[in-house]
Amino acid sequence: DAGITQSPRHKVTETGTPVTLRCHQTENHRYMYWYRQDPGHGLRLIHYSYGVKDTDKGEVSDGYSVSRSKTEDFLLTLESATSSQTSVYFCAIKAPSGNTIYFGEGSWLTVV
């Protein structure tokens, strides 16, 4: 158990509405990530954080923003949800030793 909790786990929302997904860790790790997973594309990095208030863009950051005001929480916001953002979103943390990351259980988002 990597000590990662994602919420909500499932959400259906309408096009144009803002949506925030939350990732909470109990391990106090520095690095946190948001990925989306889609058939044929695998896991793609949206944004990551390397500390409180320190974030950077990933491969597919358009339409997403993040915030990290506390070490334990990393929020992903879809500013105006579109159908192309229907996906499974995974939060991950990097262990301080070794170069591996550990994933949460995922948040299933459907934009209708």
CB of residue 14 to another protein, shortest distance in Å: 24
Binding site residues, another protein, CB under 8 A: 31, 33, 40-45, 48, 50, 90, 94, 98-106
CB closer to another protein, 48 vs 64:
48
Q: How far is the CB of 71 from another protein (least distance, A)?
A: 16
CB of 25 to another protein, least distance (A): 13
CB-CB contact of 6 with 22 (8 Å): yes
Which residues are CB-contacts of 31 (< 8 A; sequence separation ≥ 6)? 48, 49, 50, 93, 94, 101
In the complex with another protein, the residue whose CB is nearer, 10 or 70, is: 10
CA 43, CA 35: separation in Å to the nearest integer?
A: 6
Which tokens is 74 given? 């990393």
CB closer to another protein out of 14 and 21: 21
